[in-house]
A and B are shown apart, each in its own frame.
Chain A
Amino acid sequence: MADEWNPKILAIICNWCSYAGADLAGGARIQYPSDVRTIRVMCTGRIDMLFIMKAFANGADGVLVSGCHFGDCHYLAGNFKAAKRMFMVKNVLKNLGLEDKRFRMTFVSASEGAKWATVISDVVKTVNELGPSPIAEFKK
Chain B
Amino acid sequence: MAEKEEARVGVFICHCGTNIAGSIDIMDAVEYAKTIPNVAYADQYQYMCSTPGQGKIVEAIKEHNLTGIVVAACSPRLHEPTFRVATKEGGLNPFRFEMANIREQNSWVHMHDKESATAKAKDAIKIAVAKAALLEDLIPKSVPVEHAALVVGAGVGGIQASLDLASAGIKTYLIEKWPTVGGRMSQLDKTFPTLDCSQCILTPKMVDVGRHPNIELMTYCEIEKVEGYIGNFDITIRKKARGVLSPDEATARGIVGGGCNGCGDCAEVCPVIKPNPFEMGMAPRKAIYIYHAQVMPLLYTVDFDACVKCGLCVDACGDKKAIDLEMEDEFITLKIGTAIIATGYNLMPIENKREWGYKQFDNVITGLEFERLICASGPTGGHLIRPSDGETPKSVGFILCAGSRDNTGNGKPYCSRFCCMYSLKHAHQIMEKIPGTKVYLFYMDIRSFGKMYEEFYYRIQSEGAKFIRGRVANVLEDPQTRNLYVRAEDTLLGRPVEVECDLVVLAAAVQPVDEEDVIRKHFGVSKSQDGWMLEAHPKLNPCGTTTAGVFLAGVCQGPKDIPDTVAQAEGAASAASIPIHIGQVELEPYFAQCMEELCAGCGMCIDLCPYQALALVDRSDGSGRKVMSVTEAKCKGCGTCGGFCPGGAIKMQHFTSPQIHAQIDAFLCGGEQ
Interface residues of A (CB under 8 A from B): 6, 8, 10, 12, 15-17, 19-20, 22-27, 29-32, 34-35, 37-43, 45-48, 50-51, 54-55, 58-60, 68, 71-72, 74-78, 81-82, 85, 109-112, 117
Contact of B639 among A41, A76, A85 (CB under 8 A): A41
Cross-chain contact of A111 among B78, B529, B610 (Cβ < 8 A): B529
Q: Which residues of B contact A (CB under 8 A)?
A: 75-78, 101, 103-106, 108-113, 116-117, 119-120, 123-124, 127, 521, 524, 526-530, 534, 546-547, 590, 608, 610-611, 636-640, 642-644, 652, 655, 657, 660-661, 663-665, 667-669
A48-B668 in contact (CB<8A): no
Write the chain A residue with the least CB distance to B637. A42
Shortest distance in angstroms between A80's beta carbon and chain B's nearest beta carbon? 9
| B531 nearest CB neighbor, chain A only | A111
- 17 inter-chain pairs at a CB distance below 8 angstroms, sorted by A residue, are A16-B526, A22-B104, A23-B105, A26-B75, A26-B104, A34-B116, A37-B124, A37-B667, A39-B127, A41-B660, A42-B639, A43-B638, A43-B639, A48-B657, A75-B610, A75-B636, A77-B610
Partner pick for B109 among A8, A32, A37, CB 8 A cutoff: A32
In the complex where A17-B526, A31-B112 touch, is A51 in contact with B639 (Cβ < 8 A)? Answer: no
Nearest CB of A to B389, in Å: 47
Q: Which of B103, B120, B527, B529 has the most CB of A within 10 A?
A: B529
Indicate which residue in A15, A51, A71 contacts B660 across the interface (CB closer than 8 Å). A51
- Kindly report which residue of chain B lies nearest to residue A9, judged by CB atoms: B667
Kindly list chain A residues whose C-beta atoms are within 8 Å of the C-beta of B652: 46
* Contact between B75 and A23, CB atoms less than 8 A apart: yes
Question: Which of A17, A58, A77 contacts B668, CB < 8 Å?
Answer: A58
- Residues in chain B near residue A59, CB distance under 8 A: 668-669
CA distance A40 to B128 in the complex (A): 10
Contact indicator A71/B639 (Cβ below 8 Å): no
B644 and A85: CB pair below 8 A?
Answer: yes
Q: Is the CB of B638 within 8 A of A46?
A: yes
In the complex, how many angstroms separate the beta carbon of A105 from the nearest chain B beta carbon? 13
Residue among A8, A22, A32 making CB contact with B667, cutoff 8 Å = A8
Residue B76 contacts which of A8, A25, A40, A46 (CB distance < 8 angstroms)? A40
* A75-B638 in contact given A27-B104, A29-B108, A39-B663 (Cβ < 8 Å): yes
For the complex formed, measure the closest distance between the CB of B236 and the CB atoms of chain A, giving whole angstroms: 16
Closest A residue to B115 by beta carbon equals: A34
Q: Is the CB of A41 within 8 A of B655?
A: yes
Q: How far is the CB of A112 from chain B (nearest CB, A)?
A: 7
The 8 A-B pairs of least Cβ separation, nearest first, read: A46-B639, A26-B104, A45-B640, A75-B638, A58-B668, A26-B108, A111-B529, A43-B638
**In the complex, A35 Cα to B110 Cα: how many Å?**
10
Q: B105 to A26, Cβ gap below 8 A?
A: yes
Given A78-B610, A82-B643, A42:B105 Cβ within 8 A? no
Q: How far is the CA of A85 from the CA of B642 in the complex (A)?
A: 13
Known: A16-B546, A74-B638. A110 touches B526 (CB 8 A): yes
Beyond A39-B660, A111-B526, whether A23 also contacts B77 by CB under 8 A is yes
Determine the chain B residues whose CB is within 8 A of the CB of A81 once the complex forms: 608, 640, 643-644
Give the most central of A34, A35, A41, A76: most B CB within 10 Å: A34
| Bound complex: CA A92 to CA B521 (Å) | 34
Q: List chain A residues, Cβ under 8 A from B108.
A: 26-27, 29
Is the pair B660, A8 in contact by a Cβ cutoff of 8 Å? no
- Given A45-B608, A78-B610, A110-B534, output 12 extra A-B contacts at Cβ < 8 Å: A10-B668, A24-B104, A29-B108, A32-B110, A34-B110, A40-B76, A46-B638, A47-B643, A74-B546, A75-B640, A81-B640, A111-B529
